[in-house]
Amino acid sequence: MEKALISKVWIAKVLPALTLAWMLLVPIRCLPAFDFSSLEPLTPGEQYRQLSLLSLVAGGVDPALLELLQPVVQARTERRAAGDPGMELALDDFVKPLARIIDQDILLADAAQLFQFARENGPEIQARMTQIARANPILISMVDVNEIAADAIIIRNAIADGIEYSALIDDPSTPTQVRALREQTVYLRNMMEFNQFQQELALLTEEAIIDLGGRLDAYQRMFNDEVDPELIKRRVESSQIMNQQTENRFEEQAMQNNSELLMMLILMESQIH
């Protein structure tokens, strides 16, 4: 009885208040939630982040899920035809808690739009990501792939939750589609955790090599007081080579980040049921 009362109070008072607050805080957008023209004013790093996030959010989505979401898309189209423009969520809005609880139909309609855009423009999205990585290697080498994947996981889970709390749950195919979306999201999380493991292992390995090299160098000096000119020469030459390779190293890291994101996307696409 108390739970039912609390639920009625939430629907009658709290939810409208939150909706009003959201509408005051976020300007109403009637433009598409995501398109290439909206990226033009952004920095290359931000363009790369948004393209990467979009790819991971929409990666592996079954066309049947798009079909499932069509009723909410159609309902919004009808509202607009009746003169109600409504709100439109940008890609980053999906990560914000307030946006995810205001109106499930808005969230799902915009999610369907993101899925459709990514599906229709997949090759161009990947080409743009690669071009940005090649043109800005130092900037893209600092991109945190795992942070992008973490945001994608939040958004995909929010979409799955939204479907379960909407009228779409009555569709017989809904449980299968939601389960598939959640399984792919778990797969993405596993890839993210594996990347973190590889990074930590590489760091430990590098520290061990440096430590071992320092110990061997100190051990050699204990038994040899004479300066070895040839050894010094080799070390100077090695330093010069390392300095020359700095730019290449940034470029390699940028392309590695890009490859990791594309590999995540490819593996998620392979999981379509």
pLDDT mean for each 10 residues of the chain (273 residues): 43 44 39 75 92 92 92 88 78 80 83 92 92 89 87 93 90 92 87 74 67 55 56 59 57 69 65 51
Contact 104, 165 (CB under 8 A): yes
Query: Is 77 strand, coil or helix?
Result: helix
Helix (H) or strand (E) holding 143: none
What are the structure tokens assigned to 221, written together? Answer: 């000096």
DSSP H or E run through 232: helix 229-244
Residues in the chain: 273
For residue 100, the Cα-to-chain-centroid distance in whole angstroms is: 17
One DSSP character per residue, 144-200 reads -HHHHHHHHHHHHHHHHHHHHTSGGGGSTTHHHHHHHHHHHHHHHHHHHHHHHHHHH
Quick one: pLDDT at residue 128?
Answer: 93
Cβ contacts of 138 within 8 Å, gap of 6 or more:
250, 254
Smallest Cα–Cα separation from 155: which of 214, 99, 76, 85? 99
Q: The pTM is what?
A: 0.69
Residue 3, pLDDT score: 42
161-184 per-residue burial string, b: 16 or more CB within 10 A, e: under 16: bbbeebebeeeeebeebbebbbeb
The per-residue pLDDT for 8 is 42
| Contact yes or no for 248/183 (Cβ under 8 A) | no
Rounded to the nearest 10 degrees, the angle between the axes of helix 122-135 and helix 246-269 is 170
| 103: CB partners within 8 A, 6+ apart | 19, 87
Q: Quick one: which of 97, 204, 117 has its CA closest to 158?
A: 97
* Residue 172, pLDDT score: 92
For residue 136, what is the DSSP state? -
The answer for residues whose C-beta is within 8 angstroms of residue 31's C-beta and 6 or more apart is: 38, 88
pLDDT at 43: 92
Q: Which tokens sit at 77? A: 């189209």
Query: What's the pLDDT score for residue 255?
Result: 72
Give the model's pLDDT for residue 241.
Answer: 60
Helix (H, G, I), strand (E, B) or coil at 72: helix
Q: CA separation (Å) from 13 to 16, 179, 198?
A: 6, 33, 49
Name residues whose C-beta falls within 8 Å of residue 44's C-beta, 6 or more positions apart in sequence: 132, 135, 136, 139, 140
CA distance 172 to 209: 58
In this prediction, residue 182 carries a pLDDT of: 92
For residue 42, the model assigns a pLDDT of 92
Q: DSSP label at 86?
A: -
